[in-house]
Homo-oligomer: A and B are copies of this chain.
Amino acid sequence: MPFVNPQNGPIMVEGAEKGDVIAVHIKSIRPRGPNPRGTCCMIPQFGALSGTSLTALLSDSLPEIVRKIDVDEDGVYWSKRVTLPYKPHIGTLSCSPEIDSINTLTPDAHGGNMDLPDMGPGSITYLPVQTAGGRLFIGDAHACQGDGEVCGTAVEFASTTTIEVDLIKGWQIDWPRLENEAVIMAIGSARPLEDATRIAYRELVLWMEAEYGYDRWDAYMMLSQCGQVRLGNFVDPKYTVGAAITKKYLAPEGV
């Protein structure tokens, strides 16, 4: 700290300008090196079940613990007792904000440290472009992560990640969005956590209205019946939530 998380970039995208969207297709995430291992740790004044620099208390910190975990494409070897599935994804992905320069621990409207397990191979993340060239950053690979990243860290590992970047001209979005084979997902980052959830659901309602022929109130009421919420992180300086809907409900009317 404060130099987490490691990032690659800026990647300049030719022709990108404010009001466009950069689409990041994640093609593959593979463990790197001969004996790939991930790291998970408990860090003083960090994590969801501890006093932190933001939820400032007078109680003692939890113990500091650093743990190494063997990883390959078949599993995350957490302990003798438990092998977790290998579900790699990108923790931190962003275009540059317009005027701020935000540390890579913090997610916000530009993307950043969202820690969404959905951001794995097969996903497309849509990021609003705020500056010429977009100035794309990517890093913070996770071999797997639970909802909320509750202790503050995932299985953080060195990976070889292959992405493909598209530029979508003239698509005005205020917050990042994600898509995979099954769902479309709007993403919000804020504190308190309900505000992150509000952003995500509002953006999803507006997306359904703008691009899928839904009436605003129909979309709102229907998401009350079938919306899916993913808690990305609730440990970072802003919490991240994705609100999603299954693609089959988006088929054009009359189909």
Contacts and interface: CB of A to CB of B under 8 A. Distances in A.
A98 interface: yes
A190 B54 contact: yes
Contacts of A80: 253
Interface residues of A, number: 83
A195 B54 contact: yes
A147 interface: yes
A158 interface: no
A225 B99 contact: no
A229 B205 CA distance: 22
Interface stretch (A19-27, A43-51, A120-128, A165-173): A43-51
A55 to B, nearest CB: 5
A193 B190 contact: no
Contact of A202 (B57, B205, B220, B222): B57
Contacts of A225: 40, 76, 78, 84, 144-146, 154-155
Interface in A171-206: 174, 188, 190-195, 197-199, 201-203, 205
Contacts of A100: 100-103
A104 to B, nearest CB: 9
A29 to B, nearest CB: 16
A240 interface: no
Contacts of A56: 49, 188, 195, 198-199, 202-203
Contacts of A51: 51, 57, 59
Interface of A: 2-3, 40, 42, 47-51, 53-63, 65, 67, 76, 78-82, 84, 98-103, 144-155, 174, 188, 190-195, 197-199, 201-203, 205, 216-218, 220-229, 231, 234, 239, 243, 249, 251, 253-254
